[in-house]
Structure 1
Amino acid sequence: MLAPRLLPALLLTAALLGPASAAPLRDQRYGPDAAQIADVYLPETPAPGGAPVLVVVHGGSWKNGDKAAPEVVQNKLAYWLPQGYVIVSVNTRLMPQARPEAQAEDLGRALAWIGQHAHTWGADPDRLIVMGHSSGGHLLALLAADEPMRQRTGARSWLASVVLDGAGFDLLDVMPRPHAPFYDEAFGADPAQWAAASPAAQLRGQQPPTLFVCSTLRPDPCRRSQRYADLLKAHGGQAELVGIARNHAQINADVGADNDETRAIHAFIEAQLRR
């Protein structure tokens, strides 16, 4: 039975899907666990030559959130579906069932599954963009940094990452300082555990080009995003940062609306697709 808390989100999403979209494929299984599911939104007319795929990873402090929430998909669907994109919104297992590293592995498995099925949606698996918000941005950064994780999950390579007000890039820096209690729930008190789940500690080699979008309303998001962007560039990668005067939730919900954030993300994605 469909969880009652998801009904309003699904009804709203259904109302948004107009002539620019076909019927979505909901709760597609990419793994054996009931939480390892994704929603696939198909354009009415895919972009010529194989549609690009935008993969969306929700936030929620590694313990909350859902792929169908309006703030996760509403404006993104309205903006990218009419342009011929396929959009895949992913759920992973959450705490306490799965620690963040296992959640990142779920994302890797989802990307492997997307690569296997993209052609059936009229999409090109070589035109894959991944976008993660908050803790979802951490999962994306960790998977990108951890090559053994990508190999054991069979993760499909992707063209570029978009990290929306991400968190936890360098846990060896975050955890000894004052931080929100949910970090302790997610990462515990063992520095070895911090390192295992820290993108900065796992980073090896060049990463996909990455756009960091961060809130300028608090000091930490842009400072930590800039530090990690600099680290990516030191490893030979391409990294850009855009500061936006919106709060943490708005940074995600407003992507796809008519604003400076959407224009910056659009320009970045289109540049990667032209490479």
Structure 2
Amino acid sequence: MHDWDDYRFLLAVFEAQNISRAAKRLNVNHATVSRRLAALEESIGAQLFERKPEGYELTEAGLVMVSAAHTMQKALADADQLVRANDESLSGVVTLSAPENLIHAVILPKLNAFKADYPNIGVNLDSADDVKSIHNHDADIALRVTNAPAEGLVGRKLVARHMALYASREYCKARDAATDQIDHWIGRTNDPKTPKWVTTHYPRATASVRVSSNIALHQAARAGLGIAQLPCRIGDDDPKLQRVAPFKAEKDRDLWLLYNPNMRQTPRLQAVAKFLTNLILAEKALFEGTIAGPKF
């Protein structure tokens, strides 16, 4: 009979597709992973992976075992969450998952106030933009920008996130003074295409830099590297930035507060949910772009 540790090693190899990467995830050495995998294969009398140059590929037996491992993983996580959900004290740890720009600009500046009211509740902050962390029980509660919250989660829509175009004041001054205006825009590394807002409003512009994160996008605009499309909550609140043509804030998606239904009645989660709800709703005008900074 196998214990959970056997399945844990199996899942690590499956997810990493490589013994070395699996060992790193498990914080053990390469030989330990190889030995545990070989022992598991011997005990069930079947090969679980085909060793190929591009990585480890599951066999038919491996598919069955990985499916069983995922079932066990979910059952253990559900049990752990149900136990924690029955804890009625205002203490313990709540893991909050949110986009990194919200963590930096909105949550962290106000977190001291929450800690003053609830000194026994610890808060772990995880920057993420998808719902996997909640489904995998890596997070208890999350802020997500979406128009279609994932099934199996509960929560509420807080505000409609709006976007606008921004550049630094220094960039705008230099551009205004130039006789031959040449605009530059800031893009994302995960999107090689020219954004529609560039082709529509700045067809002569060239990409000055592409970045991989929301924080870097904001900082690149502040540094005067060009025009960037930013959430109004970030752009309008930054005194170094100002909106540029066409100035108008346009709705992007909604901002939702989401959590696993198993945890909805937990006092510490309710305390964090109330804090986040009040925090976001108090800044509704900023999120929806009705408070705008100076225009260029």
- TM-score of the two chains, using structure 2 as the length reference: 0.27
Instruction: Flag the structure with higher strand content.
Output: 2
Relative contact order higher in (CA < 8 Å, ≥ 6 apart) = 2
